[in-house]
Structure 1
Amino acid sequence: MKTGKRYNEAAKLVDRSIQYDLNDAIDIVKKAASAKFDETVELHIRTGCDSRHADQQVRGAVVLPHGTGKKVRILVFAKGPQADAAQAAGADYVGAEELVPKIQNEGWLDFDVVVATPNMMGVVGRLGKVLGPKGLMPSPKAGTVTMDVEKAVADIKAGKVEYKLDKSNIFHVTVGKASFTQEQLADNFQALINALLRAKPATLKGAYFKSITLASTMGPGVKLNVNKVVG
């Protein structure tokens, strides 16, 4: 794969033969984030899970102590008091059946997260083919199917992130921005790791975390020492 000059310069900061401790990894990632925009810092964790088994399909959400640094646009499917509560909590868009043709036929997707009350899931289900592939379908496990839409919206605005295994049994989760301080990124990292450890499948045999890599949007991956950072 051909890489650009900026990436090649940043890659020189990483010693591929070393597995770094958390503070050193964060330091390198911040230095390597040299794009003209504030790069997102992501955590990529390869696991020993087998998501073909229902009891190893790890999915959930956690509120990061310092947020994600990203303004999140929230769409809430709700009616009546729940719709009013969502509006009051700061949801960007609130609606019901009337949103289906707008999303289905007009391709409207100006939102990052979808929240729905349980009684609206029949309506949201009609949008499965559009929302599903984009990872936007609400889920009880992620706390996005709930009657307490006020709390759901508040948590997401405060920096709630969802974690979910991909088809290769890897987590890809945002932990902040390159402009965050070392401490903020470390706190967010720890909150996420703790949540993932709590979600570890009871049936899993062998290592849960096989490798942990930290990287910014345009920067090289920095491998962490799993034993040190998980303890």
Structure 2
Amino acid sequence: MFVNRALPAVAAAAASLAVLAPAAQAASSASAPASLARADACDPALVAPQGSLIGKLWRSNGGPASVYGCPVTKEFGYPDKRGSWQRFRNGKIVWSPNLGEGTLVRVYQARSSGNLVFRWSGTGRDWDFFNVRWSRNGGPATQVKVTRIDPWSGAYSMAPHVRDGVGTSTNGDSHPKFVFIVQGCDRGTFSSDCGPWSIPTSITTRQ
């Protein structure tokens, strides 16, 4: 009777592979998050130091996982006034102390909707409402009255493709630049009493 003596060796090899495969798969799975973490890590030379209001806001919102993403510049001051700014992968944060020592204005593009979100906080005093002005590619400014979130902060969201204040699909420019400023206002008997405008913040849209 013929006996295939190769079968036990083949079976043993198959058993060895069956044992090794899960181990290799586990090792691969374990190394994947580390690789992703390294890919998503921010350049430490660009992260604002402790004590920076911009850095504190960025960290409190999640740092690299925040709506702003990683910084792409260092934090810079202005040559002609107090204040500072830092640009991020998905937006820009500005310290605007002319509105209050803790005032931060920032803009980012929402990942899901693509809308531009302009926010401000720490304006230093109680305001009844806020005025927001925005411009597109250096064009004329559009002013919008915005209800406050609280007396010191607010937010305004808009579609990135606009013409005369009306959203369009592309408006002929896939990467327009928007600039935003804000001021606080109190309601008066006959008119509103408004404070100074913030330092501008800006963003160039993804699409």
Higher helix share: 1
With normalisation by structure 1, the TM-score equals 0.27
With normalisation by structure 2, the TM-score equals 0.29
Specify the structure having the higher radius of gyration (Cα). Answer: 2
